[in-house]
Amino acid sequence: MANGFSLSLLRFVGCGFSDRRPCLLAMCLGLLLLQGCALLQRPSDIAAPTETPAQPAAPKTSVGVQPAPSQPVPVKPTTKTSPAVETKLPQTGEASWYGAQHHGKQTASGKIYDQAALTAAHANLPFGSKIKVTNLANGKSVEVEITDRGPFAENRIIDLSQAAAKALEMIESGSATVRLELPSGQ
């Protein structure tokens, strides 16, 4: 259908104009229109979404009594998985911290962020891993659990919870140069 229409359009445009500029303009507009229409068609290999009923009708038994409904299946919350990129420790760089603006919100690991807990966000250390963070300016250290992804600033290697930042005495400055390493005994 589109091919026949295109040929008709080209014949009309070719015969209807004596000057080449309007003819070219009309052909371009016609082809653009056809291309736009082609993009609106759904490919046949992609099925349209279908609605599923919330509760399927229970089958009736031969006596006409419906069986008791089955127990609902509990839904496990989904959590993101850690990327496959491996990080070598020890690692040295800038740390920052985040607090009240994220308190009570879900982290990338699925846990709820608690600014009073000793947790951190790292770009690719596995969730649940424990690392020792040392503030190189004052020698203070704290062990944190990786529960989130970040930081998203180029020059940072870790985002600490407010409690971890307080333990490292970096609340006032907002950031500090730190060393990340495995805790002793690991």
Tens of pLDDT, residues 48-92: 445 444 545 555 555 555 555 555 555 555 445 544 456 789 999
- Looking at residue 92, what is its pLDDT? 97
pLDDT of residue 180: 97
pLDDT in tens, 120-158: 999 999 999 999 999 999 999 999 999 999 998 889 999
- Tell me the mean pLDDT in the region 19-40: 68
**According to the model, what pLDDT value does residue 44 have?**
47
Angle, helices 2-16/20-40, rounded to nearest 10 degrees = 170
7 pLDDT above the threshold of 70: no
Question: Please, which pLDDT band fits residue 186 given cuts at 50, 70 and 90?
Answer: confident
If one compares 9 and 142, the residue with the highest pLDDT of the two is: 142
Q: How does the average pLDDT of the chain come out, rounded?
A: 77
pLDDT of residue 8: 59
Kindly report, residue by residue over 166-179, the tens digit of the pLDDT: 999 999 999 999 99
CB 136, CB 178: distance < 8 Å: yes
pLDDT over 90 (residue 29)? no
What integer pLDDT is reported at residue 15 of this predicted model?
A: 55
pLDDT of residue 82: 45
pLDDT at 37 over 70: no
pLDDT given at position 53? 47
